[in-house]
Homo-oligomer: A and B are copies of this chain.
């Protein structure tokens, strides 16, 4: 049986982007179902009744929600490029960092924009980013995953790509080369990865105002 893979998505979501990178790392064919967040489809509400959010992956009729849960599912089901290491200890280290990025760094960054660049929010975001900066410096590798990207890099795509757009759009420019040289170097490497390039350009360049509206609507108060 041919796999049926559908991704319920909106352009401009770094969470959707995680799933698209994972699907492309595995070379999986999939269909995008564009959602209108102001008028969510009955499919989306039905497949993700708890969160009512994209991304949702529908694989042979089974709906999966939460971007990092979806990426782990993809890595488990499809062979090929390993997104998580196989070794249980290494796997736990990767999951730790992905969770740190997901539940600490990204909310701290959203607060910066939600608060229109409040000093306290910037100080808190800096503290979290410094931890990533130090980790990259300690590893001395191209990516969090080493020579290749892994779950940590995928989780952090917001920092590599969307943050720059958001900084530009709002003129809150705070992640600089002077302050976070390793993060900036990593971001440069990340957006040059073939699969990442493939995912980003066609879908991620909605008009800037629209992108900002998406971010503000979804994360402004978080």
User: Interface residues, chain A, CB within 8 Å of chain B?
Assistant: 50-51, 59, 62, 64-66, 68-70, 72-73, 76-77, 88-89, 91-93, 95-96, 99-100, 103, 131
Total copies of this chain within the assembly: 2
The 8 Å CB contact of A72, one of B50, B76, B92, is B92
Most central of A59, A92, A131 by chain B CB within 10 Å:
A92
What are the 4 closest A-B residue pairs judged by CB atoms, nearest first? A76-B88, A73-B92, A69-B95, A64-B92
The 8 Å CB contact of A89, one of B50, B64, B88, is B64
By the criterion CB–CB under 8 Å, are B96 and A64 in contact?
yes
> With A76-B88, A88-B76 in contact, do A50 and B95 touch (Cβ < 8 Å)?
no
Least Cβ distance of A61 to chain B in Å? 10
Which residues of B sit under 8 angstroms from A64, Cβ to Cβ? 89, 92-93, 96
By the criterion CB–CB under 8 Å, are B69 and A77 in contact?
no
Please, could you name 12 A-B residue pairs with CB atoms under 8 Å apart, sorted by A?
Answer: A50-B96, A64-B96, A65-B96, A66-B99, A68-B99, A69-B95, A69-B99, A70-B92, A72-B95, A73-B89, A76-B88, A77-B88
Least Cβ distance of A43 to chain B in Å? 17
Extra inter-chain contacts (17) besides given A64-B89, A73-B92, CB under 8 Å = A50-B100, A62-B89, A64-B92, A65-B96, A66-B95, A66-B96, A66-B99, A68-B99, A69-B92, A69-B95, A70-B92, A72-B92, A73-B88, A73-B91, A76-B88, A77-B88, A103-B103
Least Cβ distance of A60 to chain B in Å? 9
Least Cβ distance of A23 to chain B in Å? 15
Nearest to A89 among chain B residues (CB) is B62
Which residues of B sit under 8 angstroms from A70, Cβ to Cβ? 92
A77 to B91, CA, bound (A): 11
Least Cβ distance of A138 to chain B in Å? 10
A59 to B65, CA, bound (A): 32
By the criterion CB–CB under 8 Å, are A76 and B99 in contact?
no
A99 to B62, CA, bound (A): 19
Which residues of B sit under 8 angstroms from A73, Cβ to Cβ? 88-89, 91-92
